[in-house]
Structure formats: C-alpha cells, structure tokens
Amino acid sequence: MIDNLFLLAIAAFGWGLSLTTYRLFARKNNWPMGSLHADLPVIPILLGLFALTMGLLFAAARGAYDGGWIIVLCGILLAIFWTGFLRVGSQISLFLAPVAAALLLIGWLPVILGYEQPRWAHARPADLVKRTDPVAPAKPDF
C-alpha cells in the first residue's frame, strides 16, 4: 500500500527546505538565481517555510516509530539533491513546494478534525481505478 500523505510530506519538506536555503547556496557558489530569489527573497523563503512546516508537522504527528524520522531524513536528502545537483532546476520548487504542502494539508485536515481519511490518501492507485469487466453478449438458446 502506498501512503500518499507520507510521500507528500517528504516532498513538501524537501522542496520547502530547498526553497528556503537556495539563495544562501546560490550566492555563496555564484549559481544563477531567478528574479524572485534575487529581487524579493522573502516570498520564496515564506513559501519554503510553509511547505517545510507542513512536512515537519506531519512527521511529528506520525511519530518516530511510524515513519516521522524517515520523512525528515528523506526530505533532507531530497533537498540536498534538489539544491546541489539540479541548481537552477530548484526554481520549479516555487510551484512544487506549496502544491505539495497544500495537498498534504487537504489530505491530512480531515484526520485532524476527526473525520475519515480520504480514500486517495491511503489507497493504492489500482484500487482507485474503477474496474469493469466486459460482459459477453448472451448467446441465444436455439
């Protein structure tokens, strides 16, 4: 079974951390920066902190024995890969980090409020696809 909220938490944490720290590494290593990072760095930092916070809160809610440490560790590894290897590719995290955090929040909010978890948050992709078996046409009894 694939836990989609778990994967969204890793993505939100990793992309949020990458987005928050990208300007520091870009200035130190003379990497190119997008205009938003260069001219108005508070927006990427706030978007990154939002995503990072959502991923971290979900990891804390899961607990250490239920995968919380794995979320943090994989999120840090994603941020290192995203910032260190892709460099300019990390600019897309301006879109990916808030989307992952918002989807995490949408899927997690019913659990927080005491409702049933949405089916897409815990079901396998094959379970979500409606399966229909073609019915063979009936043969006449002659």
Number of domains in the chain: 1
Under 8 Å between Cβ of 33 and 19: no
Q: pLDDT tens across 95-124, in order?
A: 999 999 999 999 888 877 877 766 666 666
Under 8 Å between Cβ of 53 and 102: no
DSSP SS3 for 34: coil
Q: pLDDT tens across 23-50, in order?
A: 898 889 888 888 888 899 999 999 999 9
Residue 72 lies in a domain: yes
Under 8 Å between Cβ of 19 and 54: no
Residue 140 lies in a domain: no
Task: Give pTM, 2 decimals.
Answer: 0.79
Residue 129 lies in a domain: no
Residue 110 lies in a domain: yes
Domain extent for 22: 4-124
Residue 135 lies in a domain: no
The span from the CA of 12 to the CA of 7, in Å, is: 9
